[in-house]
Amino acid sequence: MTDLVDVRRGLYRDSVSLMQVSRSLQQVPGVSAALVAMATELNLDMLATMGFPVPEGAGPNDLIVAVRADDDAQAAALAALDAALARPAPGTGSPGPSGPSGPSTEAPARTLGAAAGRSGANIALISVPGRYAFLEATDALEAGLSVLVFSDGVPVAQEIRLKDAATARDLLVMGPDCGTAIIAGVGLGFANVVRPGPVGIVAASGTGAQQLCCLLDAAGVGVSHVLGVGGGDLSAEVAGRSTLRALAALDADPATEVVLLVSKPPAPEVAERIRAAVAGMATPVVLGLLGRGQPDLSAVAVEVLRSVGTLPAGGPEWPEWPAPVAQQPRSGALRGLFCGGTLCDEAMIVASARLGRIWSNIPLEPGWALPRDLRAPGHLMIDFGDDRLTAGRPHPMIDPSLRTERLMAEAEDPETAVLLLDVVLGHGAHPDPAGELAPATRAARTTAGTAGRDLAVVVSLIGSDGDPQGRDGQAMALRDAGAHVFTSNADAGRHATALVSGDQP
Partner 1 sequence: MTEPLHGLLNRDPVVAAAGADLLADALADQAVPVERVDWRPPPAGTEEALARVMGDPRRSIANATALGLVLAVSPHLVDVRPASEALGLEPGTFLHAGPPIDWERASGPLRGALIGAMVLEGLAESPEQAEAALAAGREITLEPCHGRAAVGPMAGVISPSMWVFEVADGDRRAYCSLNEGLGKVLRYGAYGPDVIERLRWMSAVLGPLLQTVVRRHDPIDLGAIITQMLQMGDEGHNRNRAGTLLWLREVLPALIDSGAATTDVAEAVRFVAGNDHFFLNLGMPACKLALDAGRDVPGSTVVVAMARNGTDFGIQVSGTGDAWFTGPAQVPDGLFLGAYGPEDANPDIGDSAITETAGIGGFAMAAAPAIVRFVGGEVADALAATRLMYEITLAEHPSYQVPILSFRGTPTGIDVTKVVRTGILPQINTGMAGKVAGTGQVGAGLVNPPAECFTAALTALADAAPPL
Backbone angles phi, psi at 129, to 5 degrees: -55, 145
Residues 39, 126, 290, 351: which binds partner 1 (CB under 8 A)?
A: 126
Footprint (CB under 8 A) of partner 1, residues 208-237: 224-225
Size of the site for partner 1 (CB under 8 A): 90
Task: Compute the distance between CA of residue 116 and CA of residue 124 in angstroms, rounded to an integer.
Answer: 8
Q: Are strands 2-8 and 196-203 parallel, antiparallel or unpaired?
A: unpaired
Contact residue for partner 1 among 77, 80, 139, 351 (CB under 8 A): 139
Q: Binder to partner 1 among 1, 75, 79, 252 (CB under 8 A)?
A: 252
Choices 115-123, 339-347, 437-445, 459-467; region in contact with partner 1 by CB under 8 A: 115-123
Among 6, 14, 405, 503, binds partner 1 (CB under 8 A): 14
Q: What are the angstrom distances between the C-alpha of 21 and each of 52, 69, 377?
A: 18, 16, 78
Q: State which of residues 69, 112, 262, 290 lies at the interface with partner 1 (CB under 8 A).
A: 112
In the complex with partner 1, the residue whose CB is nearer, 14 or 412, is 14
- When the beta carbons of 148 and 305 are compared against partner 1, the nearer one is 148
Residue closer to partner 1 by CB (options 389, 476) is 389
Closest approach of Cβ 386 to partner 1, in Å? 18
Is 205 in a helix, a strand, or coil?
coil
294 part of the interface to partner 1, by CB under 8 A: no
Work out which of 22, 307, 352, 464 binds partner 1, going by CB under 8 A.
Answer: 22
If binding is defined by CB under 8 A, does position 25 make contact with partner 1?
Answer: no
CA distance 492 to 420: 8
99 phi and psi, to 5 degrees? Answer: 85, 165
DSSP string, 299-328: HHHHHHHHHTT-PPTT-----EE--SS---
Choose among 210, 456, 415: nearest CA to 324. Answer: 456
Cβ–Cβ under 8 Å, residues 5 and 53: yes
The 76-95 site mask, x for binding partner 1 (CB under 8 A), equals --------------xx-x-x
**Is 451 near partner 1 (CB under 8 A)?**
no
Among 10, 72, 110, 367, binds partner 1 (CB under 8 A): 110
The least distance separating partner 1 from the CB of residue 120, rounded to whole angstroms, comes to 6
278, 408, 427 from 431: Cα distances, Å:
39, 22, 9
Rule CB under 8 A: say whether 189 interacts with partner 1. Answer: yes
User: Counting contacts by CB under 8 A, is residue 124 touching partner 1?
Assistant: yes
Q: Which stretch binds partner 1 (CB under 8 A): 1-9, 139-147, 263-271, 274-282?
A: 139-147
**Residue 126 identity:** I
Pick from 1, 3, 6, 23 the residue near partner 1 by CB under 8 A: 23
502 in the Ramachandran plot: left (φ > 0), alpha (ψ -120 to 50) or beta? left
Query: In Å, how far are 11, 25, 41, 76, 151 from 53, measured between CA atoms?
Result: 20, 19, 14, 22, 70
Establish if 183 lies at the interface with partner 1 (CB under 8 A): yes
Tell me which stretch binds partner 1 (CB under 8 A): 136-144, 273-281, 343-351, 413-421: 136-144
Does 27 participate in binding partner 1 (rule CB under 8 A)? no
CA distance 295 to 150: 28
| Residue 239 found at the interface with partner 1 (CB under 8 A) | no
Query: With contact defined as beta carbons under 8 Å apart, do 488 and 501 qualify?
Result: no
Give me the least distance between CB of 100 and partner 1, in Å please.
5
Shortest gap between Cβ of 193 and partner 1 (angstroms)?
Answer: 8
Can you tell me the distance from the alpha carbon of 418 to that of 432, in angstroms, rounded to the nearest whole number?
24
Any contact of residue 195 with partner 1 (CB under 8 A)? no
Q: Please choose, out of 69-77, 97-105, 342-350, 375-383, the segment that lies near partner 1 by the rule CB under 8 A.
A: 97-105
- Binding partner 1 (rule: CB under 8 A), the pick from 466, 468, 470, 505 is 468
Q: From residue 237, how far is each of 216, 232, 287, 302 by CA, in Å? A: 32, 9, 21, 32
**Quick one: DSSP state of residue 49?**
H
Helices (H), 40-73: 41-49
Among 129, 220, 309, 502, binds partner 1 (CB under 8 A): 129
Give dist(CA 21, CA 24) in Å, integer.
Answer: 5
Out of 144, 222, 295, 505, the only residue in the binding site for partner 1 (CB under 8 A) is 144
Site string for partner 1, 423-442 (x = CB under 8 A): ----xx--------------
Q: Of residues 45-74, which lie at the interface with partner 1 (CB under 8 A)? A: 45-47, 49-50
Contact status: 415 vs partner 1 (CB under 8 A)? no
Q: Which of residues 359-398 bind partner 1 (CB under 8 A)?
A: 394, 398
Preceding peptide of 371 cis, ω within 30° = no
Residues in 262-291 that interact with partner 1 by CB under 8 A: none
H helical segments located in 169-267? 206-218, 241-251
Nearest residue to 181 via CA among 236, 247, 227, 242: 227
Distance CA 271, CA 240 (A): 9
